[in-house]
Structure 1
Amino acid sequence: MQVHVGDAEVLLDDSVRYAASVHAAGGKAELHLWEQMPHVFVSSPQELQAARHALDLSAAFLTHHLLA
């Protein structure tokens, strides 16, 4: 799984715990922490370079796992 969360996100702590829980259960989770990004920052790729980069990482993740 892949988690993208901003450090200004209201659900930051929950996101970190969620990824840690996946690891603790033996799963794989990538946690991407984005500086100065708020909740749902990835919904603004036109305005935010970080959103574009996060979406590119998500696309690469999906492509890798769906084509494997």
Structure 2
Amino acid sequence: MSKIQDAYQIQLCREAEQLRAEAERLPHGRARDAMLQRLTRLELTAKIQGWLTSAELEGQQGMTRPHL
């Protein structure tokens, strides 16, 4: 994983932690639900990013990486 990819992964994790903390402070309702949905998308993005940059995927011979 490159330094840029590491930095992006760290940024995603930090933002997710901040959203989680904010959501816990909010009362149940639309604002909290929206924040939790955004948190879910961030966590999914981090997982996909980790998979796309994994050594296992890099090591696959004959496979092409999808371009996003």
Higher RCO (CA 8 Å, separation ≥ 6 residues) = 2
Query: Normalised by the size of structure 2, how large is the TM-score?
Result: 0.37
- Point out the structure with the larger helix share: 2
TM-score by length of 1: 0.37
Structure whose residues are more often strand by fraction: 1
